[in-house]
């Protein structure tokens, strides 16, 4: 009998040690929840509901990710959000594995909670035919935070150096340049056409609008390339293209750009190039007709009056 008692005591002691170890493991793995206000706790912990049309994210349309307010786990993407006119943020999809469905105590609805920490989010409904996915996650704003998508900062620069086909061809190949558009700038006519610029003396120059990321490439680097892909010393046009619309010019957007161009022109003159490039303040840019965009790539040709010459 004593042996049986000793064995039972040993097993009980061992079980307690195992349970204690498991509890320690759970404590180590325990998610550090964010501190909630009384109002947040009423919804997130005690499964309350905030009043319709009062939530912070009811009409939010910015791009980003919605996360759990209690544990920061990602829940929904902005592209899955839609306006259901119900008074609460609505989504027709969740991030895979982020949301758990539970039968509601009312016996009719399906509750949704954060799969990571169990925070109450709201309810999910099917069969309403509001979107193609035919599902609606009706979520309390107070149960979520929103992390806006970081948008790469981009800037625009404007250059005229003869036919815009060739300028566009070279500048769009630079790392950090996301887009180059051919267009018109510097005249008085609104929304000019190629015919207006070429035959009606509208005063515009053929210009390219360069969109670039300053974290990758500097304005000065783009400007240097511009001065090296056309002849900045030609005063009546560029190559065989003669006329006011083909003159060399830079349209600056701020004093910093203006000073950069002045510095580069000064460097060119020191290197023996009598630059005729005009420095003009930016005016409205008008995108040229579609047939002028990416002209050389579309026609599998090479520029006829632009080429690279190192000048700096």
Residues 264, 218 within the same domain? yes
Residues 143, 163 within the same domain? no
Instruction: Kindly state whether residue 280 falls inside one of the protein's structural domains.
Output: yes
**Residue 80 maps to which CATH number?**
2.170.150.20
Residues 188, 140 within the same domain? no
Instruction: Kindly state whether residue 218 falls inside one of the protein's structural domains.
Output: yes
Which residues are within 8 A (CB) of 199 and not within 5 positions of it... i.e. 6 or more apart?
none
From first to last of its 312 residues, the chain has per-residue pLDDT tens of 555 554 554 544 544 544 445 444 434 445 579 999 999 999 999 999 999 999 999 999 999 999 999 999 999 999 999 999 999 999 999 999 999 999 998 889 999 999 999 999 999 999 999 999 999 999 999 999 999 987 768 999 999 999 999 999 999 999 999 999 999 999 989 999 999 999 998 999 999 999 999 999 999 999 999 999 999 999 999 999 999 999 999 999 999 999 999 999 999 999 999 999 999 999 999 999 999 999 999 999 999 999 999 999
In angstroms, the CA 139 to CA 112 distance is 8
Instruction: Kindly state whether residue 19 falls inside one of the protein's structural domains.
Output: no
Instruction: Kindly state whether residue 7 falls inside one of the protein's structural domains.
Output: no
- Domain enclosing residue 103, as ranges: 38-148
Residues 264, 180 within the same domain? yes
Instruction: Kindly state whether residue 4 falls inside one of the protein's structural domains.
Output: no
List beta partners, residue 103.
Answer: 110
Output the CA torsion 192→230→271→312 (10° steps): 100
Which residues are within 8 A (CB) of 253 and not within 5 positions of it... i.e. 6 or more apart?
156, 157, 158, 282
- Exactly one of 68, 114, 117, 138 is catalytic; name it: 138
Residues 143, 71 within the same domain? yes
Instruction: Kindly state whether residue 186 falls inside one of the protein's structural domains.
Output: yes
Residue 114: active-site member: no
Closest CA to 160 of 195, 193, 197: 197
**Residue 278 maps to which CATH number?**
3.30.1060.10
Instruction: Kindly state whether residue 183 falls inside one of the protein's structural domains.
Output: yes
Residues 104, 197 within the same domain? no
CB 109 within 8 A of CB 123: yes
**What letter does residue 151 receive in the DSSP assignment?**
P
What's residue 255's pLDDT? 96
Instruction: Kindly state whether residue 8 falls inside one of the protein's structural domains.
Output: no
Residue 163: active-site member: yes
Boundary of a domain, candidates 99, 126, 148: 148
Residues 189, 163 within the same domain? yes
In angstroms, the CA 228 to CA 308 distance is 6
DSSP states of 187-214: -SSSS--HHHHHHS----EEEEEEEE-T
Closest CA to 289 of 151, 174, 213, 182: 182
Residues 140, 204 within the same domain? no
- Exactly one of 68, 86, 114, 163 is catalytic; name it: 163
């Amino acid at each position: 009998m004593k042996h049986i008692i000793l064995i039972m005591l040993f097993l009980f002691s061992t079980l307690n040690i195992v349970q204690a170890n498991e509890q320690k493991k759970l404590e180590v793995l325990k998610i550090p929840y964010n501190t909630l206000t009384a109002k947040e706790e009423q919804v997130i912990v005690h499964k309350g509901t905030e009043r319709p049309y009062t939530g912070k994210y009811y009409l939010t349309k910015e791009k980003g990710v919605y996360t759990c307010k209690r544990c920061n786990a990602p829940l929904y993407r902005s592209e899955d959000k839609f306006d259901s006119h119900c008074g609460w943020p609505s989504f027709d999809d969740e991030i895979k594995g982020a949301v758990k469905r539970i039968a509601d105590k009312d016996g009719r609805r399906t509750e949704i909670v954060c799969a990571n920490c169990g925070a109450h989010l709201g309810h999910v409904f099917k069969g309403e035919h509001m979107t193609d996915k035919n599902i609606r996650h009706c979520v309390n704003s107070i149960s979520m935070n929103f992390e806006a998508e970081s948008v790469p900062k981009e800037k625009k620069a404007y250059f005229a150096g003869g036919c815009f086909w060739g300028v566009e061809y070279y500048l769009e190949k630079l790392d950090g340049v996301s887009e180059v558009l051919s267009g018109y700038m510097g005249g008085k006519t609104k929304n000019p056409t190629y015919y207006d610029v070429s035959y009606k003396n509208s005063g515009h120059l053929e210009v390219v609008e360069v969109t670039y990321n300053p974290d990758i490439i500097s304005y000065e680097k783009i400007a240097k390339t511009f001065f090296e892909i056309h002849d900045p010393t030609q005063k009546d046009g560029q190559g065989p293209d003669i006329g006011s619309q083909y003159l060399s010019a830079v349209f600056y957007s701020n004093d910093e750009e203006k000073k950069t161009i002045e510095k580069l022109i000064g460097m060119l003159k020191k290197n023996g190039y009598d630059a005729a490039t005009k420095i003009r303040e930016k005016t409205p840019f008008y995108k040229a007709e579609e047939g002028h965009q990416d002209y050389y790539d579309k026609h599998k040709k090479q520029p006829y009056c632009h080429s690279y010459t190192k000048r700096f």
